[in-house]
Structure 1
Amino acid sequence: MRLNLVLELMDVPGQLVKVLEPIGSLGANLVTVIHKRDYKTENGKVPVQLTLEGELEDLKNVVKRFEEMGFTITQMDDVILKEKISTIFFGHIIDNDLRDTMDRINDLDGVSIVGCEIKLDGEDRSTALLNIEADIGLKQFIFDKIEEIAEEKDILVINEV
């Protein structure tokens, strides 16, 4: 059986070797690796495409190990598993505890903030751009939760369309 994966790796020495280690040790074979360091995702990670062969159980064990090791699998057999979402907060975001806002978003199952850019305007209102990575199919749920948080904190939120 063959399995195609796309993983996101941090752009630091040793990451590719680290991701390749469990493949052979768990009984699978590596067929193809496409690793283009000159291309990075919005969160600064490098996508790596792997094609593996092996018994179904061995391939499942490899995927499980990747997840245990903290690697993000964005595609499996051409099915997108993660999606990128951007949202903008505008208002007194620092005064209304940006940390709490981000923690509440990160606490949602299958959701992780992968980037945050803040523009401060002195004592006036500020702007924060949040880049979020989420399991596929959660976009509307996330937007609804973000709207709840923003309404509670009297912050304007602009979600992507």
Structure 2
Amino acid sequence: MRMDLVLELLDVPGQLIKVLEPISALGANLVTVIHKRDYKNEHGKVPVQLTIEGELENLKNVVKRFEELGFTIIEMDGVVRKETITTILHGHIVDSDVRDTMDKINNLEGVVITAFDVKLNGEEESTALINIEADIGLKQSVFDKIAEIAQEKELLVINEV
């Protein structure tokens, strides 16, 4: 059986080797690897396309090991597994406890903040651009949670369309 995967890796030495090691160790074979270092996403990660083959159970173990190692699998056999969500908060972001805001979003299962950039305007209101990675199908839940946080903290929220 064959499986096509697209992973996102940090563009640092050793990442490709780390992702390739579990394949043979868990009884699968590498058929194809395409590593596009010249294309980085907004988080500084590069896509790596892999085709692996082996028994179904071995392939499942490889995928499980990738997840344990913290590699993001964004596509499996042509099915997108993760999506990026971008939102903006405006108001007294720092005064309303940035850490609490981040924790409330990160506490959603299948959701993680990948970037939280705050632009300060002295003592005035500030703006935060938040990039979130979520499992497919969770976008509305993320928007609902952000709206709840914004209402509680009296922040303006601008979601992507």
Counterpart residue number, 2:3: 3
- 2:52 is aligned to 52
- Corresponding position of 1:144: 144
Whole-angstrom CA distance in 1 between matches of 2:92 and 2:107: 22
Aligned counterparts, 1:128-143, within 5 A: 128-143=128-143
Mapping of 1:3-152 within 5 angstroms?
Answer: 3-152=3-152
Structure-2 separation of matches of 1:81 and 1:24: 24
Give deviations 1:18-48, integer Å, cap 9, x for gaps: 0000000111000000101111112111110
SS in 1 for 2:16: helix
Q: What is the RMSD computed on CA atoms of the aligned residues?
A: 0.6
What is the number of equivalent residue pairs in this alignment? 161
What is the aligned-residue identity percentage? 74
Structure 1: where are the runs of 5+ without partners?
none
**What amino acid is aligned across from residue 112 of structure 2 in structure 1?**
S
TM-score, normalisation: structure 1 = 0.99
Runs of 4+ in 1 over 2 A off after TM superposition: none
Secondary structure in 2 aligned to 1:137? coil
> Helix, strand or coil: the match of 1:104?
helix
The residue identity in structure 2 corresponding to 1:84 is: T
Corresponding letter in the other structure for 1:86: T
CA deviation after TM superposition for structure 1 residue 140, in Å: 0.4
Give 1:102's aligned amino acid: M
Task: Give 5+ residue unaligned stretches, structure 2.
Answer: none
The one-letter code of the counterpart of 1:122 is G
The match for 1:153 is: 153
Counterpart-to-counterpart distance in 2, 1:42 and 1:79? 21
